[in-house]
Amino acid sequence: AQSVTQLGSHVSVSEGALVLLRCNYSSSVPPYLFWYVQYPNQGLQLLLKYTTGATLVKGINGFEAEFKKSETSFHLTKPSAHMSDAAEYFCAVRPSGGYQKVTFGTGTKLQVIP
Amino acid sequence: DGGITQSPKYLFRKEGQNVTLSCEQNLNHDAMYWYRQDPGQGLRLIYYSQIVNDFQKGDIAEGYSVSREKKESFPLTVTSAQKNPTAFYLCASSVQGAANEKLFFGSGTQLSVL
């Protein structure tokens, strides 16, 4: 079975500062990894994903994440936070190969301080 | 525009009542899902369907039922057996496979108990 751990349910950063949201996963087979973002009272939308190939993946709105197999991590970063980045972020994993369900982390709420 | 439509946006349930949440998609996706979101708990899978006339229980199926009579529609019924139904419910559909892997979410239904 797979699982996801997101460290920190709330993260606050100043506008213009580095954003770092942490995600560690466990999976018995090579994983597909995702970050989704949720704005208040809305559904989730995909920020970025790792399936195969390059381990540093770039997503929308200037976010990127690096798949580190040795650390079982997929941390999300953005060099400079913007007020519009305030939202809840979810890391997710699913085992590769065939149909498999997606497992979500508990989410991290990002606050951006002006 | 292609997407997933959930209705209603807000729903209230009386004691002992069954209520049905609607989910319609025009993305031509085979797979559809229902998630329950509670604060601090992330998204938990209730039911999923990979194809018409077939569906499987997720992690928290007790007290819920679904049907999948049409590709476009995947309604969720919250029965009176669900003792704690207050939550935000999200419907999703997906494309699977490394290149196109992605979950598409509706905007959610907030269910509350009167």
Mean pLDDT of A77-99: 91
Q: Is the distance from CB of A61 to CB of A81 less than 8 angstroms? A: no
The contact set of B with A (CB < 8 A) is 4, 6, 31, 35, 40-45, 48, 50, 58, 90, 92, 96, 98-99, 101-103, 105-108, 110
Query: A97 pLDDT exceeds 80?
Result: no
| Averaged confidence pLDDT in chain B | 92
Confidence of residue B98 (pLDDT cuts 50, 70, 90): low
DSSP readout, B77-112?
Answer: EE-TT-S---EEEEEEEEE-STTT-EEEE---EEEE
Confidence of residue B99 (pLDDT cuts 50, 70, 90): low
Mean pLDDT of B34-42: 92
Helix (H) or strand (E) holding A92: strand A87-95
For residue A69, the SS3 value is helix
Distance (Å) from the alpha carbon of A71 to chain B's nearest alpha carbon:
22
Query: B49 pLDDT exceeds 90?
Result: yes
Confidence of residue B97 (pLDDT cuts 50, 70, 90): low
Query: A73 pLDDT exceeds 90?
Result: yes
From the list B92, B98, B105, the residue facing A51 with the nearest CB is B98
Share of chain A above pLDDT 70, in %: 97
Return the residue of B nearest to A53 by Cα: B98
Contacts of A10 (CB under 8 A, 6+ apart): A108, A109, A111
Q: Which residues pair with B95 in a beta bridge?
A: B102
